Structure 1
């Protein structure tokens, strides 16, 4: 029988006949089967492109132009495929994460000893937010050895890592991040950027979101892109195995891929990726209501990723109210024109008398942008600052719980009265600067608002309130056990170390005390109330000479000079340690109850008498680690030493708490000095435990605050 070529699908029966009745070479049979596979793939693609992936290319290549009906994804967290075919990574819930990976792993090497091959990915994405100008946190195209990210955190960790393993080489993941928040701890360039991440969230290369025009040499002008504009965009992630070069490019959807990449990094992924690995996406939200979507996705091993069919992409949902009809827009102004003209004068008078939402805004505040909240939003968030939402009050204002009307984020709003505009610009500048600080043991300052004779500061809400309620208010709250107290002490020490040494400026808190330490839902200690804080550059001396703070926590040199420093913070932290460990206020009654004395002097007397552990809070009923309690009490005495040069730095304090260094022995001179004598020598009444009058305090002070933040 003569051999026959098969040019089209009508020749398929000939193959069957040949196989049954003729002896054909093995190579020719395989060729016929490949033609059959090709024709089946074409048929499937004409019916549904997303279903043709596996048949067309196996695991080395796939394309999704929408996700309706697909079963090739592994989803967890908030990730889901909507009825419209969108891959929704996050659904607007705050502080959650979502992952979506291709069900089949990909082999990136020809053999276990070979380097990682070139690959390419493309995806269409969109980020929607209900709060204008704010979104948390972003999307990361990810290659990882597993789809299990159960130990990863949301927010700035984007569902990829956590506090302990961020940056560890054992993570073995690569990610291209689309990030809409600036995190100081990861050294992000801004809150609208694209970056390349290896094993952690600190990018090895990053750039402001945008694209370059194409020209003859491939380097045109740069065009900014707003990642949270709500528009669909497309991204390309490419790896050149020979040059070990990673490239990331973004552009508006439908636009031809720009020649010049946005971000380029030379990094050998052969040292990172394990064999095999999974490809997919990770996303997470923080305190802002955000939605992260993937509309289409393609991947190619050893070459370019297949093109996504833009015309088949699903439509994005609307998160805002639908626009009014044209009929209503035209008829409503006409119908009300007569009424407006007749009552115009009355309306103006009523508006002037009811300036409920009037704010004070000056030109210099334009630079602070998104850190400013509208008074109207804060008014509605707190139900008009009603007493039912009151969390606490002090001599300089009140704190209210609220829920922002658009984002539904819980916040604490502090109302601070002020009588003068003197120093207001500098104060607000510092408020905004402190608002850039992000640390797990610091209460996040979200922004501010100014109105008439008051300033409003907006913080993260802390559901478990302030620590002093657990230490001093008997019967109202359960007693904290020893492990919880030690964990809180370590947490506050970590936050204070970050303020003193780890941030880009030195921050002196100036009001460390139990009532300014707030507890989140896991009872982690967070240092808050930055109303007295001052910032200055590393290597310079602070210039403030205005004594502020709370009696009982003030260092002796602060009483003499009025000059605060990191060591005055260390002194207050030492008093705080003793307060938490002993369950006593900084100024307590003596054993007879007839007089008052300083807590530090009382503990020091017990140390000299060899009865130091008798100062531990009796409510613990002896259920504590004696070695840990002895160490903490000695450390509290050392930090509250009357001589500033004898106090340790916060780094040394944390080393002692972690067991990495022993607690230095107390100097013998401390036995001859006590806080009572120092205060009496300065003519101060040691029994005044409340803050001085507002005339002697810096603007913005709120002391002895209670309630959650």
Structure 2
């Protein structure tokens, strides 16, 4: 069960490894490793820290989903794990121990839990809270675990019921945060450009409206000007400017025949074209 989020655990910018800052972190689990029908336990479960979430091929069984027969122990694996082992291999102290693994399943340090009266995979149901804490300042592990498990020919249910993880943030360690900042910067830039474009268009239209003659105002000032109608009424009167009602076409638009039933009037309606260049001539 990978936690699909990257963290920067050490500062790799420093040339001297001894002065590199290492992030501190802690995590805790509520787990239950359950034997199905009181059978022989499977291989165990491990908490893994690695550079990616991909499972190596052939990593089932004793390899706990960490490595395989050809890659086990290689430094190129770049992984560290805490294992809760429930099946004894030739290199294990017993079938009930906790181990610190680096780049492989052969633990660098093991502690048998039987001496403390703890049975990782007992008969029946038992829940354990596992707490791990890594101190990046003095590079010590008090408790360390993450969840990555597998089974071999024997079966057990590895149940993680609760998981908490807290990691110290190093400078530049959160790629998701960096990407979020980039998107914020791009979004603000685009918003400003759109706003400037809108203001420019508004200013242009307003200036154009002031410079062009107001044909409607000019018409209203003429003596004997016909009464004003709403466009909606004229549209209904001409049946939506139906071609069947067309009377003719002049220099400024098409003339339609219409009727106003409420007033019992026959009218002629001129619909101006969208581009009237000779407004002064029309008014004259």
Output the TM-score relative to the length of structure 1: 0.22
The answer to whether structure 1 residue 225 and structure 2 residue 118 are counterparts is: yes
As a proportion of its length, which structure holds more strand?
2
Q: Equivalents in 1 of 2:40, 2:52: separation in Å?
A: 32
Q: Equivalents in 1 of 2:36, 2:58: separation in Å?
A: 26
Query: 1:294 deviation in Å?
Result: 0.5
Paired residues for 1:147-546 under 5 Å:
147-184=53-90, 187-209=91-113, 223-229=116-122, 230-248=125-143, 280-302=146-168
Q: Equivalents in 1 of 2:29, 2:4: separation in Å?
A: 17
Q: Equivalents in 1 of 2:58, 2:127: separation in Å?
A: 28
Q: In the alignment, what sits opposite 2:224?
A: none
Report if aligned partners of 1:102, 1:280 keep a CA contact under 8 Å in 2.
no
Q: In the alignment, what sits opposite 2:230?
A: none
Q: Which consecutive unaligned segments of at least 5 residues does structure 2 have?
A: 15-19, 170-284
Distance 1:115 1:192, change over 3 A: same
Q: In the alignment, what sits opposite 2:41?
A: 135
Q: Equivalents in 2 of 1:101, 1:193: separation in Å?
A: 23
Query: 1:166 deviation in Å?
Result: 0.5
Q: In the alignment, what sits opposite 1:644?
A: none
Q: Equivalents in 2 of 1:234, 1:192: separation in Å?
A: 16
Query: 1:152 deviation in Å?
Result: 4.3
Query: 1:116 deviation in Å?
Result: 2.2
Query: 1:248 deviation in Å?
Result: 2.8
Paired residues for 1:482-631 under 5 Å:
none
Q: Equivalents in 2 of 1:188, 1:226: separation in Å?
A: 16
Q: Equivalents in 2 of 1:146, 1:167: separation in Å?
A: 17
As a proportion of its length, which structure holds more helix?
1
SS in 2 for 1:176: strand
Q: Equivalents in 1 of 2:107, 2:146: separation in Å?
A: 19
Q: Equivalents in 1 of 2:76, 2:21: separation in Å?
A: 18
Query: 1:110 deviation in Å?
Result: 4.5
Q: Equivalents in 2 of 1:152, 1:239: separation in Å?
A: 30
Q: Which has the higher contact order (CA 8 A, sep 6+)?
A: 2
Paired residues for 1:66-105 under 5 Å:
100-105=1-6
Q: Equivalents in 2 of 1:105, 1:136: separation in Å?
A: 30
Cα-Cα RMSD: 2.1
Report if aligned partners of 2:56, 2:66 keep a CA contact under 8 Å in 1.
no
Q: Equivalents in 2 of 1:143, 1:172: separation in Å?
A: 9
Q: Equivalents in 1 of 2:98, 2:24: separation in Å?
A: 21
Q: Equivalents in 2 of 1:124, 1:104: separation in Å?
A: 21
Aligned length: 162
Query: 1:240 deviation in Å?
Result: 1.7
Query: 1:171 deviation in Å?
Result: 0.4
SS in 2 for 1:102: coil
Report if aligned partners of 2:46, 2:82 keep a CA contact under 8 Å in 1.
yes
SS in 2 for 1:243: coil
SS in 2 for 1:101: coil
Report if aligned partners of 1:139, 1:158 keep a CA contact under 8 Å in 2.
yes
Q: In the alignment, what sits opposite 2:195?
A: none
Paired residues for 1:649-688 under 5 Å:
none
Q: Equivalents in 2 of 1:110, 1:225: separation in Å?
A: 38
Report if aligned partners of 1:208, 1:224 keep a CA contact under 8 Å in 2.
no
Report if aligned partners of 1:124, 1:235 keep a CA contact under 8 Å in 2.
yes
Q: In the alignment, what sits opposite 1:54?
A: none
Report if aligned partners of 1:166, 1:199 keep a CA contact under 8 Å in 2.
yes
SS in 1 for 2:110: strand
Q: In the alignment, what sits opposite 2:256?
A: none
Query: 1:199 deviation in Å?
Result: 0.5
Distance 1:208 1:280, change over 3 A: closer
Q: Equivalents in 2 of 1:131, 1:156: separation in Å?
A: 21
Distance 1:152 1:116, change over 3 A: farther
Poorly superposed stretches of 4+, deviation over 6 Å: none
Output the TM-score relative to the length of structure 2: 0.53
Report if aligned partners of 2:29, 2:129 keep a CA contact under 8 Å in 1.
yes
Query: 1:286 deviation in Å?
Result: 1.0
Distance 1:111 1:170, change over 3 A: closer
Q: Which consecutive unaligned segments of at least 5 residues does structure 1 have?
A: 1-99, 211-221, 250-278, 304-709
Q: Equivalents in 1 of 2:13, 2:40: separation in Å?
A: 45
